[in-house]
Amino acid sequence: MTQLQFLGTSDAKGVPRILCGCSVCQEKKAVNIRTRPSLAIRLKQETIFIDLSPDFRTQCLRFLNKKIASAVLLTHAHNDHISGLGDYADLLFGQKKQGAIISPSDIIDTVQNRYPYLKNRPLLQFAGESEWEIGPYKVTFHRVNHGFNGYSYGIKFTGHDYTWAYVSDAINLSQQEIKPFIGLDLLIIGTSFWDEKAPMHTRSVYSVKEILEIDKVLQAKTIIFTHLSHDIDVEKRKKEIPAHTMFAYDGMEYNLPV
Ligand SMILES: [Zn+2]
Ligand SMILES: [Zn+2]
């Protein structure tokens, strides 16, 4: 069995946002307090992560005990997804554990250029791979449009009887880009707003409403929304989404059958 744990479920700015006067940020309901996005994947033998959020240290203290990831898969090299890397490297050093950062080579190059001092850490390995295998899954990275912010990668886990994917930052996908994510057992997809009216060329992540619309094509058995901004009041919005969909929250565990 694979267990997922959402370590962080907010967009780049976190919730509450600094100095924001909106009701979600002011009320600070537990259900709406979110840190930047990371996911732990617990397999039989080992734990791996997707992304290393700026809140990685806090997330480790809250949720991880002694289970340090032996590998981290990166979706893309934006601050909200990679800036826990230094903390991860220090954790490996402190615990004398080996770890690998895995992502397509363009992302690995960007990350290494941003953190040149981490290139020579003996316990930290960088691997520019678009395919990989772990436990029961073949892991593949698929480039997706990230709108105004460029591109990122959706990560797909293909098992014998169960296939799922994590697509944190994507918008306005072409037919070609959407293809690998059709008919999944589980799609974890990033959003930001409930409904976003700004012109498409200025945007970078799907709204919840748009994801529900493209689900006519995606046909996912289950959808989990993550990467949620302060626009999403989970308490209010959870009543308005279909039964096969749900909002993630920090610390949420989700068991996969395989
Ligand atoms: Zn992001
Ligand atoms: Zn991004």
Question: Who contacts 247 (Cβ-Cβ below 8 Å, separation ≥6)?
Answer: 9, 224, 225, 226, 228, 232, 234, 237, 238, 241
Which-ligand-closest: CA of 11? 1
- How far does the centroid of ligand 2 lie from the alpha carbon of residue 148, in Å? 10
Q: What mean pLDDT is predicted for residues 214-224?
A: 97
Sign of CA dihedral 146, 149, 150, 155: negative
- How far does the centroid of ligand 1 lie from the alpha carbon of residue 227, in Å? 7
Task: Read off the CATH number of the domain in which 204 is found.
Answer: 3.60.15.10
Q: How many helices (H) and strands (E) does the chain have?
A: 8, 14
- How far does the centroid of ligand 1 lie from the alpha carbon of residue 219, in Å? 24
Model confidence at 1: pLDDT above 90: no
38-62: pLDDT as tens digits: 999 999 889 999 999 999 999 999 9
Number of domains in the chain: 1
Backbone dihedral angles phi then psi of residue 218, each to the nearest 5 degrees = -65, -40
- How far does the centroid of ligand 1 lie from the alpha carbon of residue 4, in Å? 19
Q: Name the residue range of residue 31's domain.
A: 2-256
Q: For ligand 2, an ion, list residues with CB under 5 A.
A: 78, 169
Considering the entire predicted model, what is its pTM?
0.97
- How far does the centroid of ligand 1 lie from the alpha carbon of residue 37, in Å? 7
- How far does the centroid of ligand 2 lie from the alpha carbon of residue 22, in Å? 23
Q: State the pLDDT confidence band at 64, using cuts at 50, 70 and 90.
A: confident
Q: How far apart are CA 114 and CA 2, in angstroms?
A: 32
Model confidence at 3: pLDDT above 80: yes
- How far does the centroid of ligand 1 lie from the alpha carbon of residue 169, in Å? 6
